[in-house]
Amino acid sequence: MSKIKNSSSKELITLANEVRKNAYAKYSNYAVGAAVLGKSGKIYTGVNVENAVYPLTLCAERVAIFKAVSEGEREFEAISVVTDNGGSPCGSCRQVLAEFGMDMIVYIADAKGNLLEETTVEKLLPRAFGANDLP
Yes or no: say if 29 and 71 are a contact pair by the CB < 8 Å rule.
no
Interatomic CA distance for residues 53 and 85, integer angstroms: 25
CATH assignment at residue 99: 3.40.140.10
pLDDT digits (tens, 9 = 90+) for 91-115: 999 999 999 999 999 999 999 999 9
Determine, yes or no, domain membership for 116: yes
Determine, yes or no, domain membership for 83: yes
What pLDDT is attached to residue 6?
55
Determine, yes or no, domain membership for 95: yes
Rg (CA), the chain: 14
Number of domains the chain contains? 1
pLDDT score of 56 more than 90: yes
pLDDT score of 50 more than 50: yes
Determine, yes or no, domain membership for 131: no
Nearest to 15 by CA among 97, 78, 85: 78
> Residue 104 sits in which domain range?
6-125
Question: Among the options 61, 71, 77, 118, which is catalytic?
Answer: 61
pLDDT score of 7 more than 70: no
Determine, yes or no, domain membership for 133: no
- 61 catalytic residue (yes or no): yes
Mean pLDDT of the chain: 94
